[in-house]
Amino acid sequence: MFYSMCPQDKIEYNSIMYAIIPPFLLLVVLAFFSKLFSAELELVNIGMIHLLPILYAAMRLNQRDTFIVSIASVLSFNFFFIPPTLTFTVHDVRYVFSFAIMIAVGQIVAWLSARAAIAKELETSEKLQETLLGSLSHELRTPLAAIMGASSGLLSEEIDLNSEQKKELYSTIDNGAHRMHRLIDNLLDTARLQSGMLKLKLQGCDIPDLLGSALAKSEKTFPATLTIDKNIVSIQGDAVLIEQALFNLLENAFKYGNAVNVAVSNDIEGILIRICNTGSIPSANEASMAWRAFSRLSNVRGEEGIGLGLYVAYRIAQMHGGSVETMSDGVQFCAMMRLPQRGEG
């Protein structure tokens, strides 16, 4: 009877193998170095050298993978350097204790590294929460104040409004509600992306169609110039999320630009969508970091937002195995989204 690994087992096996390759290469190099200079090095120094791959693994990998590397390092130390050499026989029980200590050190350091990573993640979450609260209190105040002012005017019996004035106040309420809706949507999308709650629903995606849908939803006072290559490939991805990412990129371009150019072309791995705008342009240094969460650049004066639209697009592209890059050449600001033909899932 033959045993065949299921796909999940294969994925887990491959992930282990890829993870332990660097420390194993380090072990091979250090073992060769120790053997080459074994006459000059004492046995205790060679043992310390064999501890280095274990510590490397403990700082970068989990406890399971660290244990595998520790066993390999102990076996190498025993086989090549512990008398009788070129065997796994151990005549002195003290070496057994040394081996146990090497393995234990690896497990302790791996555990401490995991705890440190958790602590850092909690610290990042707390900072994110503080930023969210600060952004909410600041950015939601403007549309909320406009809504409250307009609704108070409509409800007031002391003010006699004509139909045109009422229409203007209704429009103010509608615009304020849409602003709040966009802010809250970006906040919720960010929270879902950060928590890993969003899962891709892969299907065939026609990027020009999704781009057209995103353009139809965008609030714009001028048309965009479109350049779409012929024979654009279809990709595997989550159509809803990709459309959301395109919408966010377009909204940013229309908000700060006075002309928007959109180009879609086949890339080496899939598709490249390039969305550029002239108008209010940040510096090149600022623009390169525009995709980061809560980035508020020097060109955003007088515009609402909390700096999450580009970040959400960046994370959606990342989920698909793609990327979002932002740049400025002083004339225009560009956001470039690359999507591979097959999403990661």
**∠ Cα 134 140 141 (to 5°):** 95
Judged by DSSP in three states, 168 sits in helix
CATH superfamily entry for domain 203-340: Histidine kinase-like ATPase, C-terminal domain (3.30.565.10)
Query: Which one-letter DSSP state was computed for residue 51?
Result: H
What pLDDT, on the 0 to 100 scale, is given for residue 11? Answer: 40
Once rounded to an integer, what is the mean pLDDT over residues 177-188? 71
User: Residue 140's pLDDT band (boundaries 50, 70, 90)?
Assistant: low
Among candidate residues 215, 293, 289, 218, the one with its CA nearest the CA of residue 255: 218
Mean pLDDT of the chain: 79
Query: Which one-letter DSSP state was computed for residue 270?
Result: E
Region of poorest pLDDT, from 16-25, 27-36, 246-255, 328-337: 16-25
Once rounded to an integer, what is the mean pLDDT over residues 303-331? 81
CB burial class (10 A; 0-12, 13-18, 19+) of residue 123? exposed
Once rounded to an integer, what is the mean pLDDT over residues 126-137? 58
Higher-confidence residue of 8 and 238: namely 238
User: Residue 18's pLDDT band (boundaries 50, 70, 90)?
Assistant: low
Q: What are the C-alpha distances in Å from 5 to residues 13, 284, 293?
A: 9, 50, 40
Write the CB contacts of 59 (distance below 8 Å, at least 6 apart in sequence): 109, 110, 113
139 and 304 in contact (C-beta within 8 Å)?
yes
Asked if the model's pLDDT at residue 34 lies above 60, the reply is yes
- CATH 3.30.565.10 in the chain: give the residue spans: 203-340
50-64, 144-158, 184-198 — most confident range:
50-64
Both tokens of 16, joined, read: 């282990």
Q: Strand 323-328 relative to strand 257-266: parallel, antiparallel, unpaired?
A: unpaired
pLDDT tens, position by position, 276-304: 999 878 888 888 887 776 666 665 555 55
User: Residue 10's pLDDT band (boundaries 50, 70, 90)?
Assistant: very low
Cα distance between residue 73 and residue 56, in whole Å: 12
Q: What are the C-alpha distances in Å from 230 to residues 73, 193, 234, 235, 263?
A: 56, 33, 12, 15, 12
Region of poorest pLDDT, from 6-20, 71-85, 108-122, 208-222: 6-20
Asked if the model's pLDDT at residue 195 lies above 50, the reply is yes
Higher-confidence residue of 62 and 10: namely 62
Query: Which one-letter DSSP state was computed for residue 196?
Result: T
Judged by DSSP in three states, 204 sits in strand
Phi, psi of 283 (to 5 degrees): -70, 165
Length of the chain (residues): 345
68 and 20 in contact (C-beta within 8 Å)?
yes
Side chain identity, residue 294: F
25-29, 308-312, 329-333 — most confident range:
25-29
Once rounded to an integer, what is the mean pLDDT over residues 14-35? 80
- 263 DSSP β-pair partners: 227, 274
248 and 313 in contact (C-beta within 8 Å)?
yes
